[in-house]
Amino acid sequence: MAQSKKVTCLDCGQVNRVPADRLSAGAKCGTCGAKLITGKVAEVDLATLQKAARNDEIPLVVDFWAPWCGPCRMMAPEFSKAAQELSGEARLVKLNTEEHPQAGAKYNIRGIPTMAGFAGGREKARQSGAMPAAQIVNWVKASV
């Protein structure tokens, strides 16, 4: 039997157990039917981020950003390119620190954009500043 991995649905917050070989094959949430691995960046709130960071068995990379931040807006398309390239290896999400200021306090965010990589229920790496897609991909593969 194939090994399974826990993956949190970013739409409804339900934790799903998915066979590892089906992660990239269009696995869907058992509760709401949303795709679990899309290759696209998802916008999350603090509760979803905490649940996914704690439970997911594939790396989760979070971009803490705000709409007024110029470097954040410049990095957004690069973060999306990196999400496509890392599809199946890691999930990339964004958290708007202006809408969720408690997230900045909880994760000790001192400047934006800041990326944090989570694996095994813990924060494994952190990187501040805008980066191009190739550098984001390399950072995720080396650090998370």
The catalytic residue positions are: 69, 72
Contact 88, 140 (CB under 8 A): no
3-state SS of 104-119 is HHHCCCCCCCEEEEEE
Distance CA 98, CA 82 (A): 23
- Cβ neighbour number for residue 87 with a 10 Å cutoff: 16
Residue 47's nearest CA partner among 122, 102, 6 is 102
- Please name the helix (run of DSSP H) or strand (run of DSSP E) that holds residue 53, with its range, or none: helix 46-55
Give long-range contacts, CB 8 A cutoff, 24+ apart: 120-127: 120/57, 121/53, 121/54, 121/55, 123/53, 124/59
